[in-house]
Amino acid sequence: MKLYVWGTGCGAGDLIDEALPPEKIEAFVERGGGGSFLGRPVIAPENLKARDFDLLIVAGRDAEGVAKELAGLGLDADKVFYLKNHLAPVDRNRNYELAAKALNDNYVNRIRASERLIRVPLWTERERIAGEGSDNDYVRLKTLEAICLRLEGVPGAAAELGVYRGGFARWINELLPERRLYLFDTFEGFDEAESAGCGAGFTEAHRNTEAGRVLSVLPHPERAVIRRGLFPQTAEGLEGERFALVSLDADLEESTLSGLRWFLPRMSAGGYLLLHDYNNPKLPGVKRALRRYEAEAGRVRAVPISDVNGTLVITV
């Protein structure tokens, strides 16, 4: 079977780790194309027309945008399978049997059984939050918006540890246009030793970004300060800084703990730290990191929210 995968981000990484080894993929597809991912070539969508493919697996979250683009190219919708179908406002998957031939049954059944999420009725065209990194996560973004409104009069900068492609940083930057926004990331994935036990797809997908790409999605890039490299070393020289809002999204235990230790004592009164993935069963190190921090420093005041990956909102 000639299989193509749209996307070279985390969705594609999960697919590789759970159901499809890269050697079974003819090529990955990304707007612009070029280069390679996990040893396979990356082609532009328009080049798909000349390829005789059996199935295009769409791993990214923007099913709507991809579907429109494929229709514009005149490609057969029956040969397309959307992994994040449950995030889209309409059900697009028509060919589960074909997908089951390409992937394993359990994996495909899980996608079929994924419930359409409750936030879908809240999703409106005016507030369209689809797009790279946002996960169509209405609750996460609306919570951020409400928090930013509460920050009036609270001094300090904004920061994110764990930026990846800037999917969330873009919203912080939009909602807090006057604040400096520190962006801490290696922009080439996790610390090798720390991610040693993680899947190849997960680690490789997170390498697939760069600071320029992040700056290009920010509405106010002039407010951003890129701190490239491994945290907490990249925070050196910023010890006197104070923060009103921090997004801590480092996925793994030691880096999350470093983030908690470094940022929490530097938060302004009235500030918020958003600990992403606290209730994400796929990333248990985040909760372990908070427990370790609380054992050292005492219990934090926090509200868990019901966004997709279970953010814990820590208040100061």
Ligand X SMILES: C[S@@+](CC[C@H](N)C(=O)[O-])C[C@H]1O[C@@H](n2cnc3c(N)ncnc32)[C@H](O)[C@@H]1O
Q: Does 255 bind ligand X (CB under 6 A)?
A: yes
| Residue with smaller CB distance to ligand X, 18 or 191 | 191
Q: Does 60 bind ligand X (CB under 6 A)?
A: no
| Residue with smaller CB distance to ligand X, 93 or 234 | 234
For the CB of residue 13, give the shortest distance to ligand X in the complex, in Å.
Answer: 11
What CA–CA distances, in Å, run from 223 to 11, 159, 165, 170, 174?
A: 29, 11, 17, 11, 10
For the CB of residue 285, give the shortest distance to ligand X in the complex, in Å.
Answer: 11
| Residue with smaller CB distance to ligand X, 53 or 187 | 187
Binding track over 100-139 against ligand X, x by CB under 6 A: ---------------------------------x------
For the CB of residue 70, give the shortest distance to ligand X in the complex, in Å.
Answer: 24
DSSP state of 40: E
| Residue with smaller CB distance to ligand X, 80 or 264 | 264
134: left (phi over 0), alpha (psi -120 to 50) or beta: alpha
For the CB of residue 246, give the shortest distance to ligand X in the complex, in Å.
Answer: 11
| Cβ-proximal residues to 189 (8 Å cutoff; 6+ apart), any chain | 195, 203, 204, 206, 207, 208
| Residue with smaller CB distance to ligand X, 173 or 255 | 255
Within 148-187, the residues that bind ligand X by CB under 6 A are: 160, 162-164, 167-168, 184-186
H or E segment and range at residue 219:
none
Sheet with 36-37: strands ordered across: 36-37, 40-43, 25-29, 3-6, 55-58, 80-82
| Residue with smaller CB distance to ligand X, 99 or 283 | 283
What CA–CA distances, in Å, run from 202 to 101, 118, 190, 195, 311?
A: 24, 27, 10, 9, 20
Task: Measure the CA–CA gap between 62 and 82, rounded to whole angstroms.
Answer: 10
* Contact between residue 227 and residue 208 where contact means Cβ atoms under 8 Å apart: no
Member of 17, 26, 174, 191 binding ligand X (CB under 6 A): 191
List of residues contacting ligand X (CB under 6 A):
133, 160, 162-164, 167-168, 184-186, 189-191, 206, 230-231, 249-252, 255
